[in-house]
Chains A and B, each alone.
Chain A
Amino acid sequence: MTGKTIGTLPRGEPILSLRGISKSFGAVSALSDIELDVHAGEVVALVGDNGAGKSTLVKVLAGVHRPTSGTISFCGREVLLDDPGTAMSLGIATVYQDLALCENLNVVANLFLGHEMKPWRLDEVSMEVRAWTLLNELAARIPSVREPVASLSGGQRQTVAIARSLLLDPKIIMLDEPTAALGVAQTAEVLNLIERVRDRGLGVVMISHNMEDVKAVADRIVVLRLGRNNGVFTRDASQQELVAAITGASENAVSRRIGRKEAGAFKAAEAGEGREIAP
C-alpha cells in the first residue's frame, strides 16, 4: 500500500466531528442530534438495530444525503458535503452496504470509476496493474479483472468495493457492513486490513451487526438507537451492556432468549440424570 497520508496526521487528532446532525425524510426523522468524533488512527464501530440510522449517517458523511441540520468538521474545518465527489476529494472513502458497483463494467473499470488514469486516453495497463496490486494486498480471490462484475460472487464484489475505497489514499474510510457477505478467511482479512489502515493513521468507521467483529477491532463503539446517540463503549464492554444499549432495555428479546436457553439446558441436564446410559 502506498499512502501519501502516512504520518501526515498525528495519531489522536480528530479528523471528523459531527455536531447536532439531523436528517429527516418527510415526516420521519432518521437522525436527530447525532454527535460523533473520529480520530486519526482510531476504529469507531457504529452499532444499532435495524432502522437505527447507521446507514443514513454513513450516507450523510459520504455526501449522498444532505443533513437537515447540524455541522460537519473535517480536519478542523467546517465542510459542506453536498456531493459524493466532494466527500471523496476531501478524503472520505465509503464502502456502501449495496456496494454501488456497476455490474456491466469489469473490475478495473469499477475500481477506477470516476478516477480513471489519463481521462482522454485511458491507461488500461497501469490501471490493471494497480488493480491487481490492490486486490492482492486484500488477499482477494478474483479470477479475472476483465470480467464484468456481474459474474463475481457476493464476497468477491465486496472485496472489489473495499479495494475501490482504498484506491484514492483516503484519510477516513467508512465501511457499511463490510463482512456481511464474506467467508471466514476474507472476514479475517478485512479485519486485518482495518487494523493496518488504522495503524497507518487513518480513521475508520465501521458498521456491523456482528459483535465479535466489532469487539475484535473497534477502539470505541458508538451505539445508535432510533436515530439518536445511545452511549459510547470501549471494546471491553460486555455483550449484555451493548445489547441493552442497542435495544434500549436490559429486558429484551436477546436476554429473554438467553434466559430461555439457560433454563432449557438446566432442564435437559436434570432429565438426563435419571436416565441410564446404555452400555
Chain B
Amino acid sequence: MSLENTTPKPAPALDRADVRVRHDDGVGGSLRAFLDQIRSGDLGMLPVAVGLVVISIVFSSLNPIFLAPNNLVNLLFDCATVGVISLGIVCVLMVGEIDLSVGSISGFASAMVGTLWINHGWAVYEAIPAAMAVGAVIGGLYALLYTRLGMPSFISTLAGLLAILGMQLYVLGATGSINLPYESALVRFGQILVMPHWLSHSLAILPGLVALASGVRVIRQRHRANLSAQSFGRLVLKASVLTAVLEFAVYYLNLGRGVPWMFALFVALVMVLDYLLTRTKWGRSLFAVGGNREAARRAGIKVKRIYTSAFVLCSTLAALGGILSAARLASSSQQAGTGDVNLNAIAAAVIGGTSLFGGRGSAYSALLGIIVIQAISNGLTLLNLSSSLRYMITGGVLALAVIVDSLARRSRISHGRA
C-alpha cells in the first residue's frame, strides 16, 4: 500500500459531490466556462463591450474629437438623464411588462418643476419631490389598471403617453417653454458641477475595495459551511482589474472637466437598484414574477404588490430623469421627453442585457446600454449628419439590439437555460 492511500481523502465540498459536473477552476476553467456561457446564449455584457469598441473605433477615426476627454464628459452628462429613466424601465421589463409613457412622464415632470418653481414661486426642493410624487401616482394608476382590470401595460401606457403629453402641454400653457435660471443650483448640477479630482479618485477605489471585502467574507462563509468557493487569487485579480479600469476612466475624464455629479448620482442609483435586485427578497420576487407569474403566486408572493412596486418605481424614476434633463437643458419645454427619449430608454435597457420577455436583467444594463446609445448619438452629432440619417442609423442599431436579444433567448431555450 502506498503512502497516498493511507492519508484520508478530504470529504468533497457539499456542492462538489456530483461526479458528472465539470468544475471550472483556475484561469483556463474560467475561460472555458465563459465560452460555454456565450455559446448557450447567455451573452451578459459582451454585446455592450463589443459595441463600445466598434463605436469608438468608427467615430474616432471619422472625427478624433469623439474620444477627447471633454467630449466624454459631455457624453456622461447626457447619459445621466435618459439613464435614470432607463433604470426604471429595467424594473418593469423585469416583470415582463413595459411602460411606453416614460418619455411623456419625464416631460411632464420637467414642465411641473418649471411651472411650480418659476411661475408659482415654489422652492426648487419642494417642486422636485412634488413632480416625482406625481410620477409615482401615474405608475400606481398603471399598476391599478393592470392588476385590477387586467389592462395590458402596453395599451395603458400607450394611452398614457398621449394623455400625459397633453397634460405637459396644458401645464406649459401658451408660452410653450420656461427657462430655468442658469445660476440656480439645479441647472449648475445639470450642466457644470463636477467632482473635485481627489474625490473622484478616492470614490473610484471604493468598488474594488467593497468587492474585495465582501468577496473575502463570502469565501470564508462558504468554506466554513463546507461549500466550494472561488479562489482568493481570482477575487484579487477581479478587484484590481475593476479598480484599474475605474481609476483610468477617472484619470482620463479629469484631463477634461472631470466626473459630473449628475453622472455620479446616476451611478449611485444604479448601484442601489443592483443591490435591491440581487440581494433582497423584493428583487428575487421581481425575477420570479417575470419568470413564472403563477409559480410566484403559488409560492406566496403578493404578485400584485410586486407589479405595483415595479410600475411606481419606473414612473418615479422617469419623473426624476425628466427633472435632470430640464436641469441639463436649463428649460422646461414642450419638446422635453418627446422624440426618441422613450425608445432610447427602453433600448438602453435591452442593449445592456435586460430581456424584453421578463425575468432576466440587471441594473447595470441601464448604465451600459445608455452609454452605447448616447455614444452613437453623440458621434452622429459630431459628424454633422442630417437628422434623417441619424434617425435611420439609430433605428437600425436598436433593431439590431433587439434581434440579438431574441436570438440569444432562442439559444438559451435550446440550451436549457430559459
Q: Which residues of A contact B (CB under 8 A)?
A: 62, 64, 83-85, 88-89, 94, 96, 100-105, 109, 113-116, 119-122, 124-126, 128-129, 132, 141-146, 148-152
Contacts and interface: CB of A to CB of B under 8 A. Distances in A.
Contacts of B129: none
A249 B302 CA distance: 45
Nearest to B418: A150
B360 interface: yes
B298 A84 contact: yes
Nearest to A128: B227
Contacts of B302: 85
B292 A141 contact: no
Given A114-B285, A122-B280, A151-B417, A143 B300 contact: no
A40 B388 CA distance: 74
Interface stretch (B12-20, B318-326, B335-343, B368-376): B12-20
B298 A125 contact: no
B7 to A, nearest CB: 26
Nearest to A146: B15
Contacts of A104: 287, 290-292, 359-360, 418
Nearest to B295: A100
24 contacts: A84-B297, A85-B300, A100-B292, A100-B294, A101-B295, A102-B291, A104-B418, A113-B296, A114-B285, A114-B288, A114-B296, A114-B299, A115-B299, A116-B281, A119-B280, A122-B279, A124-B218, A126-B225, A128-B15, A132-B14, A132-B227, A141-B18, A150-B412, A151-B416
Given A104-B291, A122-B279, A125-B221, A109 B21 contact: no
**In this complex, which of B226, B292, B359, B415 has the most chain A Cβ atoms within 10 angstroms of its Cβ?**
B292
A146 B416 CA distance: 14
Nearest to A89: B300
B418 to A, nearest CB: 3
A44 B151 CA distance: 42
Contacts of A109: 284, 287-288
Contacts of A152: 416
Contacts of A132: 14-15, 227
Contact of A113 (B218, B221, B288, B415): B288
A82 to B, nearest CB: 12
A105 B279 contact: no
Contacts of B216: none
Contacts of B284: 105, 109, 113, 116, 122
B300 A129 contact: no
A101 B291 CA distance: 9
Contact of B218 (A100, A102, A120, A125): A125
Nearest to B359: A104
A94 B298 CA distance: 9
Contacts of B279: 121-122
B301 interface: yes
Nearest to A59: B298
A46 B222 CA distance: 43
B292 A148 contact: no
B225 A142 contact: no
